C-alpha cells in the first residue's frame, strides 16, 4: 500500500493554460457556456484501506493478523452484510493488529487493512483458522481489557501451558498481576515496594522470562528494557526511577513504566506485501483459508 507523488504532464498543463486564456478573451457569455455540468454524484471518501474477502463457516474461529514496520495498523472485520463486526488497533503489547473471532454465520467476510494515522506503507496480512493457543490468549487479552484480572491471569497461565515461547503471554500476565494486586489492596499503593512480595516475585519472573524469549528472537532492545523493569520491582542498585502503580480516581494516575513496544523482526520492504495463507502475494490478494472442524492446537 504505497503512494507516490506525481507530476502533471507538461502537455496537459499547457492545454489548461491555453483554455484559461481562451476563456478570458471570450468573455462572460463564453464562460457560461463552458460551465455546463458534466457530472454530478454523491459519495463518501473512505480512509486508505485494502479489503481481502474470505469464505467462512458458522462457528469457525479465525485469526486475522496485520503487521507493518512502516505504520500503526488498524484491522477491521466486515461481515457478509458489509458491516464492521469487530476491529483491533494494538494487540499483545505491539502496534500491530490481530483479531481472533468466531464467525456467527456462513458467508463471505472481508479482512480490512488500514492505518491509525492514515498514512500508507508496506504490510503483511494473514487469515487462518485459529489455533488453540490463539483462542486462549485472545480470551486472556479480552478479560484483561474488561478488567477481569483474576480470570485473565488464569487464561494467560493456560496459554503459557499450551505454548511457552510467546513473550506476549508473560507480559500480559504480569500486567494483570499488578492490576489485580492494586484492586485487592487494603491500603494505598504508591510503588512496587507496596505490592505483596508474592506479586513482586511473579511479575519479576514473567518479565525475565519474556526478556529471555525476546533475546532468542533477536530483539535485544525490548529485552533490556524488561530487565530494567525487573530491577525496578526488586529495588536492585542501578534500577533508576521507581515506577508507581495506578491509583484510583482522585489519586495519582501513574502506572509501572511499560516496556518498549515489542515490534516484529525487521523485514525488508520488498518482502512486506499482502499475503494469502497459502503463500500467495500481491496487492488485492484474496485469502481463502480452508475450513476445519477444529483447529489443531499449537505445539
Return the ∠ at Cα 52 (arms to 46 and 55), rounded to 5°. 130
Q: What is the pLDDT of residue 7?
A: 27
How many structural domains does the chain have?
A: 1
> Are the beta carbons of 272 and 69 closer than 8 angstroms?
yes
290 or 72, greater pLDDT: 72
Establish if 13 belongs to a structural domain: no
pLDDT for residue 143 is more than 90: yes
pLDDT for residue 130 is more than 70: yes
Q: What is the pLDDT of residue 193?
A: 80
pLDDT tens sequence across 174-189? 999 999 998 888 777 7
CA distance 98 to 83: 18
CA distance 179 to 145: 11
Q: Where are the alpha helices (DSSP H) in 27-85?
A: 28-34
Establish if 18 belongs to a structural domain: no
Establish if 141 belongs to a structural domain: yes
pLDDT tens sequence across 80-126? 999 999 999 988 878 899 999 999 999 999 999 998 877 778 999 99
pLDDT tens sequence across 43-89? 665 567 899 999 999 999 999 999 998 889 999 999 999 999 999 99
Establish if 30 belongs to a structural domain: no
61: its cell numbers: 474461529
Tell me, what CATH number does 171's domain have?
1.25.40.10
CA distance 113 to 127: 12
CA distance 49 to 71: 13
pLDDT for residue 281 is more than 50: no
pLDDT tens sequence across 198-207? 999 999 999 9
Q: What is the pLDDT of residue 95?
A: 85
> Are the beta carbons of 277 and 127 closer than 8 angstroms?
yes
pLDDT tens sequence across 33-42? 556 777 777 7
Average pLDDT, the chain: 74
60 or 264, greater pLDDT: 60
Establish if 130 belongs to a structural domain: yes
- Please, what sign has the CA dihedral across residues 173, 176, 180, 182? positive
Element (H, E) at 25: helix 10-26
> Are the beta carbons of 234 and 193 closer than 8 angstroms?
no
Element (H, E) at 232: helix 220-234
pLDDT band for position 132 (cuts 50, 70, 90) = very high
What is the pTM assigned to this prediction? Answer: 0.64
Domain that holds residue 159: 50-234
CA distance 52 to 9: 34
- Which residues does 168 contact at the CB level (< 8 Å), separation at least 6? 92, 93, 94, 137, 210, 262
> Are the beta carbons of 235 and 242 closer than 8 angstroms?
yes
Establish if 278 belongs to a structural domain: no
Establish if 247 belongs to a structural domain: no
- Which residues does 254 contact at the CB level (< 8 Å), separation at least 6? 243, 244, 245, 246, 247
Establish if 273 belongs to a structural domain: no
Amino acid at each position: 500500500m504505497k503512494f507516490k507523488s506525481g507530476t502533471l504532464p507538461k502537455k496537459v498543463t499547457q492545454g489548461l493554460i491555453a483554455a484559461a486564456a481562451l476563456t478570458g478573451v471570450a468573455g462572460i457569455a463564453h464562460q457560461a457556456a463552458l460551465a455546463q455540468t458534466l457530472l454530478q454524484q454523491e459519495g463518501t471518501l473512505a480512509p486508505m484501506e485494502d479489503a481481502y474477502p474470505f469464505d467462512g463457516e458458522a462457528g469457525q474461529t479465525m485469526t486475522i493478523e496485520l503487521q507493518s514496520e512502516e505504520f500503526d495498523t488498524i484491522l477491521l472485520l466486515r461481515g457478509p452484510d458489509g458491516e464492521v463486526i469487530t476491529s483491533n488497533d494494538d494487540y499483545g503489547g505491539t502496534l500491530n493488529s490481530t483479531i481472533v473471532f468466531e464467525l456467527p454465520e456462513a458467508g463471505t467476510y472481508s479482512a480490512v487493512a488500514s492505518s491509525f494515522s492514515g498514512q500508507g506503507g508496506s504490510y503483511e496480512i494473514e487469515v487462518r483458522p485459529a489455533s488453540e493457543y490463539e483462542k486462549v490468549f485472545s480470551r486472556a487479552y479480552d478479560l484483561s481489557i474488561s478488567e477481569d484480572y483474576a480470570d485473565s491471569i488464569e487464561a494467560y497461565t493456560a496459554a503459557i501451558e499450551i505454548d511457552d515461547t510467546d513473550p506476549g503471554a508473560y507480559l500480559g500476565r504480569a500486567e494483570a498481576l499488578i492490576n489485580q494486586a492494586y484492586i485487592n489492596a487494603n491500603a494505598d499503593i504508591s510503588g512496587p515496594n507496596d505490592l505483596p512480595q508474592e506479586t513482586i516475585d511473579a511479575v519479576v519472573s514473567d518479565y525475565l522470562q519474556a526478556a529471555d524469549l525476546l533475546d532468542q528472537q533477536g530483539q535485544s532492545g525490548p529485552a533490556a528494557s524488561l530487565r530494567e523493569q525487573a530491577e525496578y520491582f526488586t529495588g536492585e542498585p542501578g534500577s533508576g526511577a521507581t515506577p508507581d502503580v495506578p491509583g484510583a480516581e482522585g489519586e495519582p494516575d501513574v502506572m509501572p513504566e511499560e516496556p518498549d513496544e515489542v515490534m516484529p523482526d525487521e523485514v525488508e520492504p520488498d518482502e512486506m506485501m499482502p499475503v494469502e495463507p497459502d503463500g500467495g502475494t500481491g496487492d488485492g490478494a484474496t485469502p481463502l483459508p480452508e475450513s476445519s472442524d477444529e483447529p489443531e492446537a499449537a505445539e
